Each structure stands twice: as structure tokens, then as C-alpha cells.
Structure 1
Amino acid sequence: MELGMIGLGKMGANMAERLLQGGQKVTGFDPSADARKALEAQGGASADSLQALVKALPTPRVLWLMVPSGKITDDTVSGLLALLDKGDTMVDGGNSNYKDSLGHAAACAGKGINYIDCGTSGGVWGLKEGYSMMIGGDEQAVEALRPIFATLAPGKDQGWGRVGPAGSGHYTKMIHNGIEYGMMQAYAEGFSILKHKVDFGLDLHQIGEIWRYGSVVRSWLLDLTTDALSKNPNMDGIAPYVVDSGEGRWTVDAALELNVSAPVITLSLMERFRSRDDDSFADKLLSSMRNEFGGHAIKKE
């Protein structure tokens, strides 16, 4: 099976490389000539435009999108709709909002094109470890791409599966990332408490290594955390500023829409927002309140 890969950034390039290593054929397009050359060096082929990519692929075509969510994905889907034929398949492997995916699926269905939304997890480790894929779309269309998913996944029948109709793949990945927010926050807070217990002189890396084996809090995320502590135990040179890519916000929105209580995920998102406030007016006002009602001292800048 030959796949057209659109977007050869870090993750797209790694996915293409894993497919090539697994014996699949890949032709890729990226605006960057260097990215296209890198794919060719791995044994793939490249095209310098969407039109050239579509023309180069055998029918029925399979196009896999690994581009940023939002306008770029919207524009790419619209561009492909004008080029593809009935029976072709479009896979969005990025982190699109599931509501956008529902719209893309409807637009594709109107032209007889299969649309599959594939929530993809694995990051920079996916090339070596394989990718976890939560897939939404027509059952037959998904099954037709089994060789592709099986090659990208950690195992032939592990770490991937069709979870439901179009939109469900990105919805499931959204919740996955919301859970990730909460887990990360819990680890960060726990290690911070340990760090502040200075009279014990605790070695955080050692504690992480202990927890990695036999503990109920062991996880791959803990493995990565412990590795980070071994390299930089005091987090020197790292600003206390945490970005969010959108999925946490969407998860909280979904919880509100469904009247589901999700305090841990919500608070972990709020903590990311808090990390970006270098000059917190709220904290200053809290200090002033304490001074007003209790005469508590105010720490000056």
C-alpha cells in the first residue's frame, strides 16, 4: 500500500520513517524542500505540491495529514476535496478539534471520499516505540488501512483501534490529553512537595527510580519524569511557563457540555494558565486583602 503523507514536521517525518522501515511506500509533501529531501534520504518519494502528490499516488488514494489543527487543516482538507476522487481516503492524524472533524467528514462524504480521524499519541518516541492511535470513521474504510495502522502501532494488534464513527477518534484523543494534563500536574506537585522538604535532603531522581518498579504510580510518564530529573535535578534554566495545545481546554468544554464533574483536569489546565502570569494581579490583591482584614504583612517587590 502506498501512502501520501502531508506534513513532514518532526512527527510526520517520524511516522513516514516508521512506515518505510515497515515496508510501506510513502510519498510526502511539505512546503519545506529540506523536509522533502530528508524523506527521500529515508527511501521515500516526495512531491512539491498537493496537486503533484495526488497525481503521483495510485488509486484509490490514501492521504494522511500531519499538519497543525485549525486553519491549516481546514485549508488542506478543502484543497484535497478539489483534487480527490470518489473512493479515495483522507486521514487526519493531527490534533484537530473533533467538531472540526465532524465537519470535514460531512464535506468528504458529500463527494464520496472516506474521512478518518486518527488521534495519535507517541510524540518523539513513536518512531521507536510505535504510536497509539484512536481511530474514528467508517469501519470498512478503517479496515482497508489495517496494514498502515499495524505498521505504525506498537504491535500488530496493540495500541490502536477503531473507537467509533467519524469524530470519535479525535474526541477520544482529546480526553486522553485531558487525562494527561491531570497526571502531569499530580507528578509535578508531588515532586515539588518532596523538593521543599529540605531537612530530609531527598534525592528526587532516586525516588522516581524506586517508584518506577512495583509502585501503583509507575507509568511511562513517570519514566520520562525520572529521566528529566536525572539530567537536570533542579530544573535549571527552565522557565516556569507551561503552554497548552488546546486539548485540555476542549476536554473541559466537553465536561461542561455533558454536566460531568472533572475538577482535576480543570484545575490542571488552570495551573498552566497561572504559570504564564509573571506579574499576578490576583496574588497581589490576595496579599492586600489579608493586610486589610487581619493586618498581615505584605511582602514588597
Structure 2
Amino acid sequence: MELGMIGLGRMGGNMAQRLVLGGHRVVGYARNPDTLREIEKKDIVPAATLEALVNELKSPRTIWLMVPAGAPVDETITALWPLLIPGDIIIEGGNSNYKDTQRRAQMLATSKIHLVDAGTSGGVWGLQNGYSIMVGGDEQVIEGLRPIFETLAPAPDKGWGRVGPSGAGHFTKMIHNGIEYGMMQAYGEGFAILRHKQEFNLDLHQIAEIWRDGSVVQSWLLDLTAAALAENPGLEGIAPYVADSGEGRWTVAEAIDLDVAAPVITLALLQRLQSRDSDSFSNKLLSALRNQFGGHAMKKE
């Protein structure tokens, strides 16, 4: 098969390369001439404009977007729309809010253009290991795209599937990332306890390696924990600041809307927010209150 790829950052570029290695023809759009030269070395056909990308593809065209969620997706779709014809397909592989995806799918359907949402997990390791892909959209359209998903997945029959109509792919990926928040928080807290038990002088990397095989807490996240601790056992030079890209917030909001208790995911999100407050007024007030009612000592800056 052939397809266009818009968004050739690290993940999008790796996905395009995996598709090429799998025998697909990929046309990549980039405004930067240096990027065009780089992708051409990887047998990706370069396109300096959206018009050039569309013209390089035969109808019905398939164009995969890997651009940041929000306005960039809307802007890209708005620019692409006049260049497409009925039957063309846009695959949106970023971390968009599923409600935006439903809106975009309905909008494009007025021109008989299909939108497929492909929630994609795998990070920078996907080129070697394959990607987990949660797909939403028309069943018949997705079936026609099967060769693409089978190539990107860890195996043709593993790691991908249609999970429901438009929006379902991004919704499922949102919950996936919410679970990821909770798992990462648990690993972080557990290893922090181990580190603070100075009596035993524990080797955290050794423990991570032990847990990687045969343990009920083994996972890819634990593999990455072991790799991080091997590289930097004390995590020196890393600020205790944890960013979030939005999916955890959306997951918590959805849980509230659905009256579903999600305390672990919610607390993991709140811990990320707390990590960014280097001058916590709330913690200062807690210390002042303890001093007010109990005369407890306050630590001065």
C-alpha cells in the first residue's frame, strides 16, 4: 500500500520508516528542506507542500497525521480538505481528545472523506518493537487499511485492532495513558521507599533487574526503569518536575462524568501537578497552621 505521512518528528518518522521497511510506499510532507533530505535517505518520498503530497498519492488516498493535539490537527485538516476527494482517508494518530475526533469525523463526512482515529502507543521504541494501535472508525474502511496496521503492530495479529466507531480509538488511548500515569506513580513511589531505606544500602538497578523476570510487577515500564537506573543510579541532574500531555486530565474528567471512581489515576495526576510547584503556598500554609495550633516548629527557608 501507499500513504502520506504528515508529522515526521521522532515517532512519526519512525512509523514512516517501519512502513517503508514493511514494503509500503510512504510520501512524507515537511516544510524544512533538511528534513526532506533526511527522509529521502530512508526511502521516504519527500513532499515540500501538501499539494505535492496529495498529488503523489493515487485515489483513494490515505494520509496519516502525527501532529500535536488541538489546533495543529484542525489546521492541518483544514488545509488538506480542499485537496481531497470523496473516498479519501485521513488517519489521525496523535493524542487528540476523542470529542474533537468525533467532531472532525462528522465534519469530514459531509464531503465523504473518512476519518480514522488511531491511538498509538510505543514511543521511540516502536521502530524496533512495533506499536500498539487502538483504531476507531468505519469497520469497512479500517479493514481496507489492515496492511498498514499489521505492519506497524508488533505482529500482524497482535497489538492492534478496531475498538469501535469514530472517537473510540482516541478514547481507548486516553484511558491507556491514564492507567500509565498510575503505574508510573507506583513504580516511582516504590523505588523511592527502597532508596530511603539506607540501612540496607539497596542497589535499585539490581532490584529492578530481578523484578523484570518472573515477578507479577514485570512490565515494559519496569524494563525502562531498569534502563534508567543503569544509566543514572541516583538520577542526578534530573529535576523532580513531571509534565503531562493532557490524557490523564481527560481520563479523570471522564471518570467524573461517568460516576466511576478512579482514585489512583486521579492521585497520580495530582502528584504530577504538585511536582511543578517549587514554591508551594499550600505546604507553607500547612506548616504555619501546625505552628498556630500546636506550636510545632516551622522550617525556615
> Shorter-chain TM-score: what band?
over 0.9
Kindly provide the amino acid, as one letter, of the partner of residue 93 in structure 1: G
Paired with 1:93 and 1:238, the residues of 2 have a C-alpha distance of 30
Match of 1:160 in 2: 160
Alignment partner of 2:135: what SS? strand
Aligned residues: 301
Q: Deviations over 1:86-116 (max 9, x none)?
A: 0110000111110110011001111101110
Superposed, which structure 2 residues align to 1:169-180 within 5 Å? Answer: 169-180=169-180
1:262 Cα deviation from its structure 2 partner: 0.3
Match of 2:52 in 1: 52
Q: Deviations over 1:221-244 (max 9, x none)?
A: 001001101111110000000000
Paired with 1:191 and 1:217, the residues of 2 have a C-alpha distance of 13
Superposed, which structure 2 residues align to 1:1-301 within 5 Å? Answer: 1-301=1-301
Kindly provide the amino acid, as one letter, of the partner of residue 157 in structure 1: D
1:31 Cα deviation from its structure 2 partner: 2.2
Contact 1:204–1:233 (CA under 8 A) maintained in structure 2: yes
Alignment partner of 2:217: what SS? coil
Contact 1:122–1:132 (CA under 8 A) maintained in structure 2: yes
Kindly provide the amino acid, as one letter, of the partner of residue 220 in structure 2: W
Q: Deviations over 1:51-85 (max 9, x none)?
A: 11111111110000000000000111111111100
Contact 1:91–1:116 (CA under 8 A) maintained in structure 2: yes
Contact 1:64–1:93 (CA under 8 A) maintained in structure 2: yes
Paired with 1:131 and 1:65, the residues of 2 have a C-alpha distance of 15
Alignment partner of 1:90: what SS? strand
Contact 1:241–1:275 (CA under 8 A) maintained in structure 2: yes
RMSD, aligned CA: 0.7
Q: Give the alignment's TM-score, normalised by structure 2.
A: 0.99
Paired with 2:50 and 2:30, the residues of 1 have a C-alpha distance of 9
Alignment partner of 2:28: what SS? strand
1:141 Cα deviation from its structure 2 partner: 0.4
1:146 Cα deviation from its structure 2 partner: 0.6
Paired with 2:273 and 2:137, the residues of 1 have a C-alpha distance of 34
Paired with 1:52 and 1:250, the residues of 2 have a C-alpha distance of 36
Paired with 1:86 and 1:18, the residues of 2 have a C-alpha distance of 28
Paired with 1:19 and 1:273, the residues of 2 have a C-alpha distance of 37
Alignment partner of 1:184: what SS? helix
Paired with 2:38 and 2:221, the residues of 1 have a C-alpha distance of 30
Alignment partner of 1:82: what SS? helix
Paired with 1:114 and 1:138, the residues of 2 have a C-alpha distance of 8
Paired with 2:224 and 2:7, the residues of 1 have a C-alpha distance of 27
Contact 1:9–1:35 (CA under 8 A) maintained in structure 2: no
Alignment partner of 1:223: what SS? helix
Paired with 2:33 and 2:172, the residues of 1 have a C-alpha distance of 34
1:49 Cα deviation from its structure 2 partner: 1.0
Q: Unaligned 5+ residue runs, structure 1? A: none
Contact 1:108–1:115 (CA under 8 A) maintained in structure 2: yes
Contact 1:205–1:229 (CA under 8 A) maintained in structure 2: yes
Q: Deviations over 1:244-295 (max 9, x none)?
A: 0010001011101101100000000000000000101111100011111111
Provide runs of 4+ in structure 1 moved above 2 Å: none
Instruction: State the identity as a percent.
Output: 63
More divergent stretch after superposition (125-134 vs 40-49): 40-49
1:39 Cα deviation from its structure 2 partner: 1.2
Paired with 2:147 and 2:297, the residues of 1 have a C-alpha distance of 66
1:32 Cα deviation from its structure 2 partner: 2.1
Paired with 2:170 and 2:193, the residues of 1 have a C-alpha distance of 35
Paired with 2:163 and 2:247, the residues of 1 have a C-alpha distance of 18
Kindly provide the amino acid, as one letter, of the partner of residue 200 in structure 2: F
Q: Unaligned 5+ residue runs, structure 2? A: none
1:37 Cα deviation from its structure 2 partner: 1.5
Contact 1:8–1:36 (CA under 8 A) maintained in structure 2: no
